[in-house]
Structure formats: C-alpha cells, structure tokens
Chains A and B, each alone.
Chain A
C-alpha cells in the first residue's frame, strides 16, 4: 500500500502526463458546460465585488457587464473553478506534507510580485484571457486571438527574462563559505490528516451541489478540484514555458503544454461536432497583442502567472499574496480603463472575433492548429538546442583560457 501511495502523493508528476490530462479534462468540461477552464474572468468579478463592498457605484461600467458580474463568487460556476483549484492544490500539498511558510529573503520580491501581478492582471484582461482562455484553452476553441496572444506573450516573456537577470532586479542570494544547517525536521506529521479532512469536506460540498440540482456549480467545483490537483502535482508553470527556455534552455514545460493543447484541440473539435456547440471566440485586436506583451512581462516579474500563483500560494509561498493582490488590482483597473479611459475605443473597437472553424471549416481549422502547434514545438526544440550550442562554445573558450 505504501509503495502505491508514495509515487502519487510524495513525488511530483510528469508534466507531459499532467498536461495531457488537463487538456482532456478541459475539452470534457467544455462539452459538459459550454464554457472553458478560465480564472481571470472571475478575478475581474472579484475586483468588482470588492468595489461594491467599498461602496463604489460600478453600474454602467461596460467591462463588468461584459464579464457578467452578477451573484456572489460562491454562486458562480467560474467562482468554483477558482476555489476548486485552490482546494485541489492545498489538499495535494498537505497530503504530501509539503506545506511550509516560505518568505522571500529579499524584500524586493514583494514589490516585484505586486507590480508584476498588476501588469499581468491588466494585460490578461485587456486580451480577454490569460494563459488559459487566451492560450491553453483558447487555442482548442480555435479562437484566432489565442495565437496573437501566444506570440505576444513570448515577446513579453523574453524581455521579462532579460530583466530577471539584471543585477538590480535579481539581487544577491545568501552565499556563505562552508556548510549551512538545513531546517530541523519536525517529528510529528499532521499535514496529511488535515489534507484528508479538507478533501472529505470539499467532496461533500461538491456532492451537495449535485444533489441540490446546482449542476453547474458542482461541475465547476469538481473540475476546479481536478485542475488544482494537476497543476500542483505537475508543478505546471506557464511562465517558465517561455521564460526558462530563454534563461536556461529548458524546454520540458513548453513541450508538455503544446502536447496538451494538441490533444485538447482534437477532442474539442470532436465535442463541437457531436454536440453542435458554439466555440468561444474572443476579439482579435491590437488589445490582444498589447495585452499579451504586458502579460508575458508581468508574469515573469511576478514569478508566476494566474494559475501558477494559485498553487504556489497553497504551498505557503507568501510572495504570491502580493502577486494575487496585484492581479486583482490590475484586472479591476482594466475594467475601469475599458470605457472610462478609452481603452476599448483605442485598442479593441476595430478588432473582430475570428474563429478558424468559421474561416477554414473543421478540417482546415484542426489542420492549421496542429500545424501551428507543431511549428511552435519545433521552435521550442530549436531554442533549446541553440542555447546549449552557445553554452558549448562558451565552455570551449573557458577551456582554452585555462
């Protein structure tokens, strides 16, 4: 029994397998609910909820109308996707005895997290989605805006990666001569029992939703739980997909994400055909590109994107409290700027919703999507090899110097 439990709870899972499952689940979720796995829409609604709480009159804010700010977060399916993800991540962290309050040694990280979060939140909402609805679940919906967003995110991340390597940004680590003492281990292990208790309570709540006829809430809670478990156990990091390719030539996350999207695209087009569903399409406009660049830059500054910050917070990485706050602030400010500062008129109005299914038909859409994903995969492999070729040359020069 112990030998079976250990790989599941004690070790991190293979990212390829995790993203394959996540891709399948998001296609299934779409089939069941006609909506996609997404979180920033709910973050924006939370921002609206907060404004209401502070007595701000947000009636007439076009953006909140657009994201359907109604009810409370616990009455919204998208709300339960978010809380389910938090719950799923927390349960797995506790079951694996991994929770620990982790505080950055360098205070600048808090500022970086907050500012990065604001930029990422603003950019994501400007583009009408983050790494999920404008990327991982946007591509399988054949919404052309996702491809603009991916390209822009890559650009933003590139500059973000440059920033993280500057001395004033990254700061100095604690480097000492000789050995240092690791933290003393606690004898009692109670986290798994807490995790198990929370799991039982959460599953009970989910069953209640279904039993009381609130099917969409139940599905949100159930799939949110699954997504949260997957991203924490896989340490899925959309930020690192681009960033680490640039920083250290690391490609595993990018490859896994691409494969997950490919499988999800195939399943989604099948689901759309069988159930005659309408794919979810967002406006492709200058806002998509600008939003993607800001998002790519912001997530690197913040050390994590919307989904990454959620499970890291559950691990006890308190840096992601200001990151989370920043995201809410950024999304809320965008909601204000949309009509009050003319963002919509300048960046969005002239755009159009473009879905590859409409423009190319189903065969064309899936073919082009898989081709572009293949191209992205090839670019990733090339980027990795190019990095390591440079490294080899550099090492060769060092050898000659000695």
Chain B
C-alpha cells in the first residue's frame, strides 16, 4: 500500500472519455500555483498513457509513478 500523498486538488475524471482527461489535466495544472500537488483519477483507458506522457511533455513532474487501481489510474502531478 502506497503512502497516501496529500494532494492540494483532485480532478475526478471518472466516466470522462478522451480527449477531456488530458485537456482538463493540463488546464488545471496550468492554473495551479507552482509546487502544488494535483491528484487525477481517471478510468478512460486512452488516458492511462496520454495523460502522463503529455503532462511530462508539457514540463510537469510526477510526485510518484502512476498507480493502477483496478480499472482506474491515479496520477499525482506537481504544478
């Protein structure tokens, strides 16, 4: 069991299909203060790959590796 990180904000994107997970994630990160922590919960399989890859491509860093939670993924990303 991972130590639970204390996120400043959580995006609950369960049920949302592509491209909205990646759009919402990048827009939310863009609006947050530097160093704040965003938790993203998504169950869209397409976003399991493109959200982390695009967050990194846009210069953001992960607080920990993506966590697979059954049919969901959890991402913890620093703004």
Contact = CB atoms under 8 A, between A and B. Distances in A.
A102 B43 contact: yes
A182 interface: yes
A248 B22 contact: yes
Interface stretch (A37-45, A76-84, A237-245, A264-272): A237-245
Nearest to A394: B30
B15 A103 contact: yes
A319 B44 CA distance: 11
B7 interface: yes
A230 B4 CA distance: 35
Counting chain A CB atoms within 10 Å of each CB, which of B7, B20, B45, B58 scores highest? Answer: B45
Contacts of B8: 177-178
Counting chain B CB atoms within 10 Å of each CB, which of A178, A179, A186 scores highest? Answer: A179
Contacts of A340: none
Interface residues of A, number: 46
A395 B43 contact: no
Contacts, number: 130
Interface size grouping (class) on chain B = 35 or more
A97 interface: yes
Contact of A317 (B9, B17, B28, B69): B17
Given A170-B23, A173-B13, A177-B8, A98 B71 contact: yes
A255 interface: no
A358 to B, nearest CB: 39
Contacts of B22: 244, 247-248
Interface string B6-44: 111111111111111011101010000000000101011
A164 B71 contact: no
B18 A303 contact: yes
Contact of A178 (B7, B14, B45, B50): B7
A98 B45 contact: yes
B11 A174 contact: yes
A340 to B, nearest CB: 35
A194 interface: no
Given A100-B43, A235-B46, A250-B54, A173 B16 contact: yes
Contacts of B53: 250, 252
A59 interface: no
B12 A173 contact: yes
Counting chain A CB atoms within 10 Å of each CB, which of B7, B10, B26, B58 scores highest? Answer: B10
A179 B39 contact: yes
Contact of B69 (A177, A185, A252): A185
A395 B28 CA distance: 15
Interface string A180-200: 101101100000000000000
Contact of B10 (A98, A175, A235, A304): A175
Given A173-B13, A391-B58, 10 more contacts: A97-B70, A175-B10, A176-B12, A177-B10, A237-B46, A247-B23, A250-B53, A250-B57, A303-B19, A388-B57
Interface of A: 12, 97-100, 102-106, 109, 164-165, 170, 173-180, 182-183, 185-186, 235, 237, 240, 243-244, 247-250, 252, 303-304, 312, 315, 317, 319-320, 388, 391, 395
Q: Would you list the 7 A-B pairs with minimal beta carbon distance, nearest first?
A: A100-B71, A180-B10, A174-B12, A173-B24, A182-B69, A303-B17, A103-B15
Interface of B: 4-20, 22-24, 26, 28, 39, 41, 43-46, 48-50, 53-54, 57-59, 69-72, 74
